[in-house]
Amino acid sequence: MESSYVRAADVHAPRRHWSLVCILFDGGPSDAANPSPSSLAIGRWNDEPVLAMRWNGNAENPLGNPQSRGLATWFIVPEQHWRQILETEQYKFSGDKINFARDFLDFKKVYFLNRCPNPDCRDYQQLVLHEYRTNDLGPTLDKLRKDELKFYHIICDHWWKPAAQEKDDLAALLKSAQDRYRVRSAKQ
């Protein structure tokens, strides 16, 4: 059955600026019982951690709002509103989910996604989220350079070394995060 709206997890435009990290809430399609559903996500806009929001569509307007050039997009929420939105009663987020979002937005952790390579895993080739604390970026980069870093998937209790492209992508992400964290720390 075809969806009556573009699911929040499928909104990736504009790719040059936006990268989705996690959907915090998807309110589903709009209809008479749900006239103004929204979705909330954390991601990166121009490589900076942000909170993003959108209004979901329906069969008549599957793209929802905002949209640009025929593609569903996200509205980047100004930082001064993050706390109020995350803690609003409407979403009823658990303390763990709020802390996860805060850690990401406050840049206490850096997140990296790849796919489980274990063919015996029930989530084989599904996305696996890895997190690195910002105060451990230097040692983590050292382990990566020395080829000592391993990824772990809790579902199948499997460890693996990053492939060449994963290693390059993770090194670039951690170096960028290290530079940004230094700048943020200097401003505080």
**Rounded to an integer, what distance in angstroms lies between the CA atom of residue 6 and that of residue 26?**
11
**Higher-pLDDT residue of 161, 34:** 161
Distance of CA 107 to the CA centre of its chain: 13
Say which residues have a Cβ less than 8 Å from residue 93's Cβ, sequence separation at least 6: 24, 25, 86, 87, 101
Enumerate the domain spans of the chain.
Answer: 8-105, 109-187
**Rounded to an integer, what distance in angstroms lies between the CA atom of residue 2 and that of residue 146?**
48
DSSP 161: P
**Rounded to an integer, what distance in angstroms lies between the CA atom of residue 29 and that of residue 5?**
6
pLDDT in tens, 20-68: 999 999 998 877 787 778 999 999 998 889 999 999 988 888 999 999 9
| pLDDT of res. 186 | 55
pLDDT in tens, 83-111: 899 988 888 899 899 989 998 888 778 88
pTM of the full predicted structure? 0.65
pLDDT-above-90 percentage for the chain: 63
